[in-house]
Structure 1
Amino acid sequence: MTKPKTPARTEEAERLETLAAIEKKLLWLASWTIHHANHLRPARDRLKVGGHQASCASVATIMTALFFEIMRPGDRIAVKPHASPIYHAAMYLLGRQTRERLERFRSLGGAQSYPSRTKDATGVDFSTGSVGLGAAMSLFASLTQDYVRLHDMVPAEQPDGRMIAIVGDAELDEGNVYEAMLEGWKYDVRNVWWVIDYNRQSLDRVVPEQLFEKIESFFSAVGWRVVTVKYGKKLQRAFARAGGEALREWIDACPNDLYAALTFKGGQAWRVHLESDLGRNAAIREILESHDDAALASLMTNLGGHDMEAMLEAFRSVDTDLPHCFIAYTVKGWGLPLAGHKDNHSGLMTPEQMGVLQEAMGVPAGAEWEPHAGLDVEPARFDAFLAQIPYQRRVERHETAALPVPSVLPAGRRTASASTQEVFGRIMGELARSEEEMASRIVTTSPDVSVSTSLGGWVTRRHVFSRKEHEDVFRANQVPSPTQWRQSLKGQHLELGIAENNLFLNLASLGLSHELFGARLLPVGTLYDPFIARGLDALTYACYQDARFLLVATPSGVSLAPEGGAHQSIGTPLIGMSQPGLTSYEPAFGDEVAVIMRWAFEHMQKPDGGSAYMRLSTRAIEQPEREMDADLERRVLRGGYWLHEPQPGCALAIAVTGVVVSEAQAALGALHEDMPEAGLLVVTSAEQLHADWRARGSASYAAGLLAPLAPGAGLVTVLDGHPATLSWLGGVRGHRVWPLGVDRFGQSADVQDIYRVMRLDADAILDACARACLQR
């Protein structure tokens, strides 16, 4: 009599059976979604829609295991960009995605081409798209989770979640991945899982052999546990048979491109090669003879990443919060006729191939979108299973109250001469002394330039965040230094290595803490202005996710004179103007800095707000003796004000942004000898003026500012940056513009020489004014 199965075994077997049905359904829905978008939906522009059927297929098992079994409510996940359709299919089964949005995949109002936190309505945790950034984002999210936990900002009963990333193996070619891993090692990050979809194919080729050995060594070197899931249970059983070791050795030695080609060709091709290489082995012949071509192909492609039991075993084996890398061997295009072909990355199944797949899946015609169509388990059991999985209990977005911001930020003692960077440092130093709740939620971060960007006072008083307490050794040994570098669990500064991608990814994770973890933070990041360009991809990524932070870029422009052209920024004002989700300001005077910072701390907490960017300078200039009243504050924030009002009907004015206001003032002083009616406009935010002008035209604030000028008046614009930043002002009311600025690389010099060479000095401004007058 057959011994009955134990209840536990029966429950696990049913669980695996249901998961297999989900896996099959996800593969079908992802494939159909892409097919429908490319072959069935009308195409007005006749462009290929795309959608990466092969890339979805390779992660079908991984996605099923994570979303429908392994993930807990507190876990967050970044799904590799090319797996977007299968992610949307999973959300569809879970009731978080609609059929209508699937039908409109990659079209207006439909599911996005790559998972988007802001454009998709499915609760995406981390946007992906630019490869490598999603993985690194999960690491910095773990660091943020550690930060809010160790600062007692979340309830003690709120469990730590695992920050998970499903990563295509080609994403590991991106250098930012390794920069992030090194930073994670420095901060001893925990609860990070990266699942590598190791299909050994990139967009254009099959990757070199033994890449996994390098991957493993990289991860091990920075303290990660590496779990390799290479073979499925069928192959493991075959290896346990007589002759199995020879079969394992043959597969291990098989070049990646040959393995992919044989996978595409199928069982007969496998048989020919195995018989040629191992046919003399009687045990191998027995294995071959016991499998028909279809069964042999299934056996030889039974890799760990496509074996549910093997993947669950790997995930369940984790018994520590140390970061883990799972190298899951997969076949690109698994389960599809595209499997293994080197050109399958952007390949699409033909209608004929799709028909064969539909028949194999058991999906009736007309029922392609039905969740229960073609199921291998009872629909009631299927629905009951989906209802009880832990993922269904997650909080997609925490609701977090805004923090009150003081009506005036403390700026310390006012001096007759100061730089905007210096005033920023004073404000941060005074906030460090503050007992305001807002000050306890500020967290600063910088890529090894904290002191040179004037964060020294803040760091001295608020300390560096670290799991390990560490006193400033120089201070303990009575070595004089204005900055203390004490490390503690309660520190409020995250010091990074010189990697701007890491800075922006860190700001992204800190700036989403209120939604991800329910703890409101006010992140402030500093860096040298020219190096925004080095991390621009990650900055765009942060803004695309609607992360909230204040970016302080300083020093800027050729005003950094002796540092030379490599450190002198040119186009960053245009980056600030053009970057969605990031409002840019370039204050000329110190009192403007305080106003803008206060606005930024409020703006980053508003539902319809965003991040802010201040471009500052180290050059000290004379400060005006004035009170920042409500009207002036309003004008500073709206984008500009008249420092010297023009007389009505004036034929000439100067518009200036930032530190070159001193040169503009000197030029205006000389100009007033002959044209006392000329005015000087300080533009604090070209972006704010430009956006308002585009929206309201002749009723805009910029139009009102320029109204006193005569029609056709000359307008000389000047800033330490690209002249296009301000030259558009001529279009507001039809004034003739003479733009001055920086449009070529700088060089080492003192300020006077570099301004003369770049035509930013008072003489150059006067020359432009003269030409403007002559051309009237």
Structure 2
Amino acid sequence: MASATSRPVSADELATLDLLYQQVQWLSAWTIHHANNIRPNEDGLKVGGHQASSASLAAIMCALYFKVLNPNDRIAVKPHASPVFHAIQYLLGRQSREQLEQFRALGGAQSYPSRTKDKDDVDFSTGSVGLGAAMTLFASLVQDHLLDKGVLAKEDAGRMISLLGDAELDEGNIYEALIEGYKHGLRNCWWVIDYNRQSLDAITSDRMFTRFHDIFETTGWKVITLKYGKLLQDAFTKPGGEALRAWIDECPNDLYSALTYKGGAAWRARLLADIGKKRGVKALLNGYDDKALGALMTNLGGHDLELLLETFLSIDSDQPHCFICYTVKGRGLPFEGHKDNHAGLMNPSQMADLQDRMNIPAGQEWVPFAGMPDKADALNKYLETVPFNQRSSGRKTAPVLPVPPKESFPCPADKATSTQVAFGKIMNALAKSETALADHIITTSPDVTVSTNLGGWVNQRGIYSREGHTDTFKEQQVLSPQIWQSATTGQHMELGIAENNLFLALAAMGLSGSLFGTRLMPVGTLYDPFINRGLDALNYACYQDSRFMLVATPSGITLAPEGGAHQSIHTPVIGMAQDKLVYFEPAYVDELSAIMRRGFEHMQKTDGDSIYLRLSTRVLEQVERPDDRWEEEMLVGGAYWQEQPEEGAELAIIYTGAVAPEAKAAFDSILEDVPGAGLMAVPSPDQVHKAWSKSIRDLGADNINEPCHIRQLLSRLSPNAKLVTVIDGAPTTLSWLGSVCGHRVMPLGIDRFGQSGSINELYREYRIGTDAIVDACASAFTAR
């Protein structure tokens, strides 16, 4: 309920807001109807649009957008309320009629709010339920980090708000995020739950309400439940009101929904049957006709604008708040309360009835306030003063950070080392540098900071904490190479073991420039196989066009003694398939250094991407680079000849990553039998594949025939040449190379779960060792 410090709006303003709410309800329903029943449909598929889910959240969204939100607030809107969002933006002058007419069509307003695809001002994309809510939590933590660093002024900070459906609370990532928020002292975060008690398939469990309340309070949130609107609250004060309230509190969700659908007469019959003999009840019910009784029984807190505004405007603390707002799914529509209404659509006659009730003239369906022309000017003037409408755009800009040039960028000079160790040394050297890049890097890891070699960085730059904490082990003179000291100035955010949280944190950090005007350069580490555990959140982060560097290490069966549970197989294919993410798997330190340097540059480009580094714990002898054989542009392009073949050569061995020594040993052993053969390093199968695929699309669309990077490299070989590819990962990562110039390919890689053993044992068992490569070279000339 609202607190005693509530600041209710005037009756006139409340009336204005109610008119805006009615228009939003109309426009959201009409937008969906137009897409499904009026716009030409060439393929006959149902367009959809969730009229019921939109209706349940409309009043809440109107209260927020038209009164409560400030320009610096950032909002993640429930996916199925996208039409309401677009309708509100349309009334605010931030969305076009053309976009609404093309809702769910190519180039039009998107099915679910998208910051990369929609043309109106979407702060956070939503769609995969639960992730948008958690995203606001991590965005709030990032905002705190910037506030504590002194690079974001307090007056420029805002609330990170999520509008979510109650069924989203079934998603496990919600609770992982709540725990992480509690650890880090979350603040300035609101979650507003559309508690309509319906999921996609059915009515939700009656027992969950108290559990949600307990979970949020346990993790430090203030929980405010809005169950009864003002009409019901008034009815409870009358004779028979307490009995009515008790009946509602005990009523199962499915019965309440069914009676809502059936209407006032059904309410009356059931209430009289159950509590009609209790004192005052019959008289109370007789005070309402059937229509009024139906309105009374659906006057839940989430639909009462006055109650919503009183509650939202009363909040004066930065404690995270959870508002559980009782609503009716399909509020005001013919199928309100029906358990099957999630994907339901009003038919043309039902839509005509709604249009008639709202007094919208035919042909003026898209005209704002067409049903109330005498009020249009006043409503438009009010919208001009709405606080949220004062922001020019939710998108801020941040200057590009200079990246040290090649000469001064760290590149460890060890003669033998692993890419994982080299990564740690590069980060340690960056931490010691006095550069803008280092000052804007923020690292994070799900409890594997030390084992992924971020320890040196943390020792130099510290752990971020709002409260600060000294390293007790150091104070107690207990020797440890790790200085685990936290402060508000720290540049590492330590997370618990939850990969969903890692990717959502990286997503929020990588949008820092756009959200808050200060660019961060996020670097996140995890064990490579556990990318799978957070894959939905990784995809979500990339869909936002967030920019970060993901360092996954160790990888493959090369992590030999750890066994199959820690040995990744198909992550290279994930890296290649994931949009807005560029996958690299360097074998050598100089490759890694160049890729990281260029990666930090690429992350900041308008058309840039996030970077995924798949690293290894295997120690390799580093190669010496003759100047005429080392071209960095070829490296970042994805491939280069480590040993260049003669023109017209009949064989090439092509490798990626930690199997470099085996590939080189096999190459040396076949030279006598196949003179002139080549050895190609492919540090990024992703880059070469993207360029090759683009060349094919361009040829088909524009008849452009410019050879791509990998075609130029392979063109040195004979048209009848054979390729042997090898990677500690899925063989499909490289097997496609045969399609570039029509060469026969013998692909070696891992296509079954690993197991414990030594590197040599496992390489022999899984056929990616030197002998297997040599055998594949021989078979390439004899296989049919």
Range of TM-score over shorter length: over 0.9
Residue number in structure 2 paired with 1:686: 685
1:377 deviation in Å?
6.5
Q: Give distance in 2, aligned partners of 1:377 and 1:530.
A: 63
Q: Which whole-Å CA distance do the structure 2 matches of 1:666 and 1:69 have between them?
A: 70
Determine helix, strand or coil for the equivalent of 1:444: strand
User: Against the structure 1 CA distance between its residues 424 and 627, is the aligned structure 2 distance closer, same or farther, given a 3 Å change threshold?
Assistant: farther
In structure 2, how many angstroms separate the alpha carbons of the residues matched to 1:756 and 1:614?
26
Which residue pairs with 2:3 in the alignment?
none
- Counterpart contact for 1:21–1:376, Cα < 8 Å: no
Q: Give 1:158 deviation, angstroms.
A: 3.3
Q: Deviations over 1:539-594 (max 9, x none)?
A: 11000010010011100100001100011111111111111100111101011001
- Counterpart-to-counterpart distance in 2, 1:34 and 1:762: 61
Q: Which residue of 2 aligns with 1:331?
A: 328
Are 1:218 and 2:215 matched, yes or no? Answer: yes
Residue of structure 2 in register with 1:146 after alignment? 144
- Residue 679 of structure 1, CA deviation: 1.0
| Matching residue of 2:568 | 569
Tell me the residue number matched to 2:701. none
Per-residue CA deviation, residues 363-384 of structure 1 (Å, 9 max, x unaligned), is 1111111102123871111011
Structure 1 segments unaligned to the other structure (5+ residues):
1-7
Deviations 1:137-193 (A, max 9, x none): 000000010011111122x35332000000100000000000000000000011000
Shift of 1:450: 0.7
Number of residues paired by the alignment?
A: 768
Inter-partner Cα distance in structure 1 for 2:693 and 2:48: 35
Aligned to 1:450: 449
Q: Secondary structure at the match of 2:155?
A: coil
Give the match for residue 5 of structure 1.
none
Q: 1:88: Cα distance to partner?
A: 0.5
Cα distance, 1:693 vs structure 2: 1.2
Cα deviations by residue, 1:615-661 (Å, 9 ceiling, x for unpaired):
10000111012377895211110111111111111111100000101
Preserved contact between residue 190 and residue 322 of structure 2 (Cα < 8 Å) = yes
Within 5 Å, which residues of 2 pair with 1:102-181? 102-154=100-152, 156=153, 158-181=155-178
Letter of the structure 2 residue corresponding to residue 749 of structure 1:
G
How much does 1:674 deviate? 2.2
- Verify: 1:719 aligned to 2:727, yes or no: yes
| Partner residue in 1 for 2:98 | 100
In structure 2, relative to structure 1, the CA distance for the partners of 1:377 and 1:502 (3 Å cut) is farther
Distance in 2 (CA, whole Å) between partners of 1:478 and 1:736 is 63
Aligned partner of 1:72 in structure 2 is 70
Work out the CA distance in 2 between the residues paired with 1:412 and 1:65. Answer: 55
Of the candidates 750, 772, 775, which is equivalent to residue 780 of structure 2?
772
1:491 is aligned to 2:499: no
Query: Are the aligned partners of 1:55 and 1:82 in contact in 2 as well (CA < 8 Å)?
Result: yes
3-state secondary structure, aligned to 2:156? coil
Q: Secondary structure at the match of 2:612?
A: strand
Rate the CA distance shift 1:627–1:484 in 2: closer, same or farther, 3 A: farther
Matched with 1:664 is 663
1:388 aligns with 2:385: yes
Q: In structure 2, the residue corresponding to 1:438 is in which secondary structure?
A: helix
Aligned-pair CA distance for 1:210: 3.3
- Name the TM-score, length of structure 1 as normaliser: 0.97
Q: Is contact 1:412–1:430 with CA below 8 Å preserved after alignment? A: no
Say whether the 8 Å CA contact 1:526–1:551 is kept in structure 2: yes
Alignment of 1:592-671 (within 5 A): 592-626=591-625, 632-671=631-670
Matched, 1:709 2:717: yes
In 1, Cα distance between equivalents of 2:143 and 2:114? 21
> How far apart, CA to CA, are the structure 2 residues paired with 1:148 and 1:627?
45
Cross-structure match for 2:537:
538
Distance 1:338 1:453 in 2: 54
User: Deviation of residue 51 (structure 1)?
Assistant: 0.4
Q: Secondary structure at the match of 1:195?
A: strand
Distance, in Å, in 1 between the alignment partners of 2:688 and 2:542 is 21
Q: Is the 8 Å Cα contact of residues 445 and 494 (structure 1) preserved in structure 2? A: yes
* Deviation at residue 476 of structure 1 after TM alignment: 1.5
The letter of the residue matching 1:56 is S
Identity %: 58
Q: Which residue in the other structure is 1:19 paired with?
A: 17
Query: Any idea what SS the aligned residue of 2:646 has?
Result: coil
* Preserved CA contact (<8 Å) 1:548 1:611: yes
Letter paired with 2:165 = G
Distance of 2:566 and 2:154 partners within structure 1: 48
Give the Cα–Cα distance (whole angstroms) in 2 for the partners of residues 310 and 376 of structure 1. Answer: 28
Change (3 A) 1:673 1:630: closer
Quick one: distance in 2 between partners of 1:99 and 1:291? 41
**Aligned counterpart, 1:82:** 80
CA distance in 2, matches of 1:374, 1:548: 46
Q: Deviations over 1:397-456 (max 9, x none)?
A: 111110100012543641111111111110000001000111000000000011111101
Q: What residue number does 1:292 align with? A: 289
Q: Determine whether 1:342 maps to 2:339.
A: yes
Residue identity matched to 1:400 = A
Cα displacement string for residues 192-238 of structure 1 (whole angstroms, at most 9, x for unaligned residues): 00000000000001011132101100000000000000000000000
Matched, 1:472 2:471: yes
Q: Give distance in 2, aligned partners of 1:303 and 1:477.
A: 58
Match in the other structure for 2:764: 756
Distance 1:227 1:695 in 2: 53
CA contact (8 A) 1:652 1:773 kept: no
Distance (whole Å) between structure 1 residues aligned to residue 53 and residue 282 of structure 2 = 34
Q: Report 1:249-268 matches (<5 A).
A: 249-268=246-265
What corresponds to 1:3 in structure 2? none
* Structure 2 counterparts to residues 405-554 of structure 1, below 5 A: 405-408=403-406, 410-411=409-410, 413-554=412-553
2:702 aligned residue: none
Distance change (3 Å), C-alpha of 1:386 and 1:446: same
Secondary structure of 1:314 counterpart = helix
Post-superposition Cα deviations, 1:520-550, rounded to whole Å, max 9, x if no partner, equal 1000011111111111100110000100100
Tell me the equivalent position of 1:738: 746
Corresponding position of 1:4: none
Tell me the equivalent position of 2:354.
Answer: 357
Letter in 1 for 2:286: E
Task: Go from structure 1 to structure 2 and tell me whether the alpha carbon gap of 1:224 and 1:157 turns closer, same or farther (over 3 Å shift).
Answer: closer
Q: CA RMSD in A?
A: 1.5
Q: Which residue of 1 aligns with 2:191?
A: 194
The separation in 1 between residues aligned to 2:684 and 2:279, in whole angstroms, is 80
**What SS class does the counterpart of residue 631 from structure 2 fall into?**
helix
Supply the AA of the counterpart residue of 1:15: E
Quote the offset at 1:10 in angstroms: 11
2:412/2:426 contact within 8 Å kept: no
Does residue 1:245 correspond to 2:253, yes or no?
no
Q: Is the Cα contact below 8 Å between 1:560 and 1:567 reproduced in 2?
A: yes
Counterpart in the other structure of 2:225: 228
Instruction: Identify the residue that residue 48 of structure 1 maps to in structure 2.
Output: 46
Kept in 2: contact 1:18–1:377 (CA 8 A)? no
- Most deviating of 275-284 and 659-668: 275-284
CA contact (8 A) 2:8 2:306 kept: no
Letter in 2 for 1:130: S
Q: Are 1:586 and 2:585 an aligned pair?
A: yes
Partner-residue secondary structure (3-state), 1:124: coil
| Contact 2:124-2:544 within 8 A present in 1 as well | yes
Q: Which runs of 5+ in 2 are unaligned?
A: 1-5, 697-705
Offset at residue 772 of structure 1 (A): 1.1
